[in-house]
Chains A and B, each alone.
Chain A
Amino acid sequence: MWADAATLKDTMPTAFEPETAALPKLTNEEIARYSRHLILPEVGMEGQQKLKAAKVLCVGTGGLGAPLALYLTAAGVGTIGLVDFDIVDESNLQRQIIHSQSTVGKLKVDSAEITLKGLNKNTNIIKHNTMLTSANALEIFKDYDVIADGTDNFQTRYLVNDACVLTGKPNAYGSIFRFEGQASVFATEDGPCYRCLYPEPPPPGLVPSCAEGGVLGILPGLVGVIQATEVIKLILGIGEPLIGRLLLVDALAMSFRTMKLRKNPECPMCGTHEIKELIDYDQFCGIPKPTEAGPLEVSSHGSTPDLPIVDGIPQMSVEQLKARMDSNTAPFILDVREPHEYQIVDIGAPLIPVGDLPNQLHRLTFPKTTEIVVHCKSGARSQRAALFLKEQGYTNVSNLSGGILAWADRIDKSLPKY
């Protein structure tokens, strides 16, 4: 029995273990605080000291990053880095439990720090109030032992993966969509990386974005806590981390399945190492560069910048549309959101969801030269719908820039935003 356990421990893929010699001592207050860990033989005094010595970077303090950072802080991880450039919005609070009503409007890194410091005054919180980019990722990652990827777009997923491989840091990965989640540990020395699983990103628009799908608020909690568990296991060198395995979580069925992942010897990142530096991830994912300073997420989710023409589609501002309506020269307005969004709020336009448009064109019973303005929630789906209508021969289609959110922000402030 003992021999087996010892053998298992020796052969276990421990991705990261801090130097035992230099481990920091625990204070009496810390010994009292972590007593439930200290009496667990798998953690014990040495394990708790390893946690205290560890530095973990949480990329994103959103749905996944919130429970992740909270549990790591509670567990006694000594240094936690937070990367986020965003500010707290009320609509975040459905799932981002690290933020609160009292911090709406604050920087997310500041809001998260308040909560984490309130939970554990001993934790050293390092705030990186910035967008993670190819220019800063390696510099930020180099000071940490484990990276936890809780981002929300493909560009940053590939960026985090590549930076982890290049710096030799394990990546505790989690991802969610609607009711479904994935978790794994990538970029350990012998294990696969994210590119082994997904060599190429899906083309923009083919995979429905969360904007069209939403997410069950509890799900990032579930997946973020799995990421936190993996981080702790990597630090302590216990158990079997999700190296070479992909965990699939289905919250509706409440099923958990693991799939075998293999390191791809042809992987340009971790196999052949032909990629030697970070690349342009917007270009890699087929996303146009942001054309103005502002949150990456807006562009990453395909929202159109407020420019006169994008891909041949004129972008009408909400002010321009309002002026046209006031002068009784309004174009035909088409809402391409989903019926359940229409129930939340509408501006009186007829509804054909973007996915139904190909089958519902017969409902547009007017000449193809008629001026049409398409709107959705924030302008991304309506841009796609406008491109489709143009392909179908409609000659005067524009996109309402910023969608119904911009309308509620700037024209009719009585409308709810979601």
Chain B
Amino acid sequence: MQIHIPTPLRAYTDKQETVSVSGSTVSEGLAALVAAHPAMQQHLYTPEGKLRSFVNLYLNDDDVRYLPAKEETAVTPTDELTIIPSIAGGSAATGCCR
């Protein structure tokens, strides 16, 4: 499975935009991602090990939260998982680049 890493999190994947992982489900793929890039752990999971609520996962173009098996959905090597972070930039007046 290919995992697309959003810009804010690329700092933790050696700047890679996509990471190829093995794993037969979404959660196994994520575990492989975190194993390869341990700094991703705290950005994706709470200290209790739950996926953070502001991190959205999309398998191809579907929200994983709405898939019947959620994170246990089976994946193939050609599937694409996209991590969509919360970003707020825009007005950027004094804020964005202060």
State the A residues within 8 Å of B (CB). Answer: 60-65, 84, 86, 89, 91-92, 95-96, 108, 149-154, 157, 174-180, 182, 197-202, 206-208, 210-211, 213-215, 220, 223, 246, 248, 250, 253, 257-262, 295, 297-298, 300-301, 303, 355, 377-378, 405, 418
Once A200-B53, A259-B84 are accepted as A-B contacts, the answer to whether A92 and B92 lie under 8 Å apart by CB is: yes
By a CB distance below 8 angstroms, the chain B residues around A198 are: 54, 56, 86
By a CB distance below 8 angstroms, the chain A residues around B6 are: 180
A-B contact pairs, 16 of them (CB 8 A): A62-B96, A63-B92, A64-B90, A84-B91, A89-B94, A92-B92, A92-B93, A95-B92, A150-B91, A154-B88, A177-B89, A179-B7, A201-B86, A211-B96, A248-B84, A259-B61
By a CB distance below 8 angstroms, the chain B residues around A261 are: 63
Contact A153 B88 (CB under 8 A): yes
Contact A213 B86 (CB under 8 A): no
In the complex, what distance in Å separates the CA atom of A65 from the CA atom of B95? 14
By a CB distance below 8 angstroms, the chain A residues around B63 are: 259-262
In the complex, what distance in Å separates the CA atom of A95 from the CA atom of B77? 40
Contact A176 B86 (CB under 8 A): no
By a CB distance below 8 angstroms, the chain B residues around A297 are: 91, 93-95, 98
Once A92-B92, A355-B11 are accepted as A-B contacts, the answer to whether A206 and B53 lie under 8 Å apart by CB is: no
Contact A60 B91 (CB under 8 A): yes
In the complex, what distance in Å separates the CA atom of A62 from the CA atom of B93? 5
**Among A151, A210, A295, residue most surrounded by chain B Cβ atoms (within 10 Å):** A210
- Say how far A137's CB is from chain B's closest CB, in angstroms: 15
- Say how far A198's CB is from chain B's closest CB, in angstroms: 5
By a CB distance below 8 angstroms, the chain A residues around B94 are: 86, 89, 92, 295, 297-298
By a CB distance below 8 angstroms, the chain A residues around B90 are: 60, 62-65, 149-152, 174-176, 220, 223
What are the 3 closest A-B residue pairs judged by CB atoms, nearest first? Answer: A62-B91, A60-B91, A297-B95
In the complex, what distance in Å separates the CA atom of A259 from the CA atom of B87? 16
In the complex, what distance in Å separates the CA atom of A297 from the CA atom of B82? 30
Contact A200 B54 (CB under 8 A): yes
- Say how far B42's CB is from chain A's closest CB, in angstroms: 8
Contact B82 A175 (CB under 8 A): no
In the complex, what distance in Å separates the CA atom of A258 from the CA atom of B63? 12
Which residues of B, 66-90, contact A by the 8 Å Cβ criterion?
66, 82, 84-90
In the complex, what distance in Å separates the CA atom of A312 from the CA atom of B19? 40
In the complex, what distance in Å separates the CA atom of A339 from the CA atom of B98? 16
In the complex, what distance in Å separates the CA atom of A377 from the CA atom of B98? 7
In the complex, what distance in Å separates the CA atom of A179 from the CA atom of B17? 12
By a CB distance below 8 angstroms, the chain B residues around A303 are: 98
Contact B97 A211 (CB under 8 A): yes
Contact A176 B87 (CB under 8 A): yes
**Among B17, B52, B61, B93, residue most surrounded by chain A Cβ atoms (within 10 Å):** B93
- Say how far B37's CB is from chain A's closest CB, in angstroms: 14
Which residues of B, 28-60, contact A by the 8 Å Cβ criterion?
42-43, 52-54, 56, 58
- Say how far A404's CB is from chain B's closest CB, in angstroms: 11
**Among A179, A259, A405, residue most surrounded by chain B Cβ atoms (within 10 Å):** A259
By a CB distance below 8 angstroms, the chain B residues around A62 are: 90-93, 95-96
- Say how far B51's CB is from chain A's closest CB, in angstroms: 12
Q: Which residue of B lies closest to A63 (CB)?
A: B92
In the complex, what distance in Å separates the CA atom of A418 from the CA atom of B97? 8
Pick from B8, B53, B61, B98: contact of A177, CB below 8 A.
B8
Contact B84 A246 (CB under 8 A): yes
Contact A257 B7 (CB under 8 A): no
Q: Which residue of B lies closest to A62 (CB)?
A: B91
- Say how far A46's CB is from chain B's closest CB, in angstroms: 32
Q: Which residue of B lies closest to A64 (CB)?
A: B90
Contact A248 B92 (CB under 8 A): no
Once A198-B86, A246-B84, A260-B61 are accepted as A-B contacts, the answer to whether A207 and B8 lie under 8 Å apart by CB is: yes
Q: Which residue of B lies closest to A89 (CB)?
A: B94
By a CB distance below 8 angstroms, the chain B residues around A211 are: 96-98
Contact B98 A175 (CB under 8 A): no
In the complex, what distance in Å separates the CA atom of A378 from the CA atom of B97? 10
By a CB distance below 8 angstroms, the chain B residues around A84 are: 91, 93
- Say how far B83's CB is from chain A's closest CB, in angstroms: 11
Contact B82 A259 (CB under 8 A): yes
In the complex, what distance in Å separates the CA atom of A91 from the CA atom of B97? 8
Once A60-B90, A152-B90 are accepted as A-B contacts, the answer to whether A215 and B95 lie under 8 Å apart by CB is: no
In the complex, what distance in Å separates the CA atom of A295 from the CA atom of B96? 13
Contact A208 B11 (CB under 8 A): yes
By a CB distance below 8 angstroms, the chain B residues around A262 are: 63, 66
Q: Which residue of B lies closest to A405 (CB)?
A: B98
By a CB distance below 8 angstroms, the chain B residues around A253 are: 17
